[in-house]
Amino acid sequence: MAIEASVLILNGPNLNMLGVRQPSVYGTETLDDIEVACQERAEALGLAIDFRQSNNEGELVTWIQQARGEHDGIIINAAAFTHTSIAILDALTLAELPVVEVHLSNIFRRESFRHHSYISAIAKGVICGFGFQGYLLALDAMASLVDNAAL
Ligand code: DQA
């Protein structure tokens, strides 16, 4: 049997509060619900996932550094760090893995400070505005990216 590609799915600050956090913006699903949905989609796609959340920028940077050599791609919703973190951009750059950026909300319909993303500079693509379904779309995209890389 072929070895499954492994995808690291990272979630940034305050995403542990999904379900109670501004449901009109972020939906009613909890992060656990999203992880279960991702697990199901990943299995259907033949991908293995490692799903994590941290409120700590340094922890996210360390996990991204460790992904090099351990995972085949990174899906990231860096939450507010999207708009502030050159450290996460640098870590994603050195990881040398395909990156898909996800946001639950459509950041371009919101405050102007959310319109700029440091992560988009390194991402293969960005999915935003589709709620938790965005994670599933990101997995679909990642399946093709890791497939193409294996060719
Ligand atoms: C978010 C959008 C960010 O602007 C915000 O800071 C978040 C969540 C989203 O998923 O829509 O925490 O990344």
Q: Where are the domains of the chain?
A: 13-71+91-150
Is the pLDDT confidence value at 4 over 80?
A: yes
Is the pLDDT confidence value at 151 over 60?
A: no
| Predicted pLDDT at 84 | 98
Using the mean position of ligand 1's atoms as its centre, give its distance from the Cα of residue 2 in Å: 36
| Predicted pLDDT at 1 | 52
Q: Nearest C-alpha to atom 9 of ligand 1 is from which residue?
A: 103
Supply 72's token pair: 């085949």
- What's the average model confidence in pLDDT over 45-66? 98
Given the structure tokens 């946001």, which residue do they identify? Answer: 103
pLDDT tens by residue, 102-125:
999 999 999 999 999 999 999 999
Using the mean position of ligand 1's atoms as its centre, give its distance from the Cα of residue 77 in Å: 7
- What's the average model confidence in pLDDT over 6-16? 98
Looking at ligand 1, which atom is closest to the CA of residue 128? 11
Given the structure tokens 């994603």, which residue do they identify? Answer: 92
DSSP conformational letter for 120: G
Q: Which residues are catalytic?
A: 26, 103
- What's the average model confidence in pLDDT over 54-68? 98
- Listed ranges 17-21, 76-80, 143-147; the one with the highest mean pLDDT: 76-80
CA atoms within 13 A on the CB side of 5: 23
Pocket of ligand 1 (CB under 6 A): 14, 77, 79-80, 82, 103-105, 107, 114
Output the CATH code of domain 13-71+91-150.
Answer: 3.40.50.9100
Q: 150: left (phi > 0), else alpha (psi -120 to 50), else beta?
A: alpha
| Predicted pLDDT at 7 | 98
- Portion of the chain with pLDDT greater than 70, in percent: 97
Alpha carbon of 66 to those of 69, 73, 108, 140: distances in Å? 7, 12, 31, 23
Is the pLDDT confidence value at 149 over 90?
A: no
Supply 32's token pair: 């656990």
Q: Report how far residue 59's alpha carbon sits from residue 25's, in angstroms, rounded to the nearest whole number.
A: 26
| Predicted pLDDT at 3 | 73
Task: Name the pTM for this structure.
Answer: 0.95
Given the structure tokens 């639950």, which residue do they identify? Answer: 104
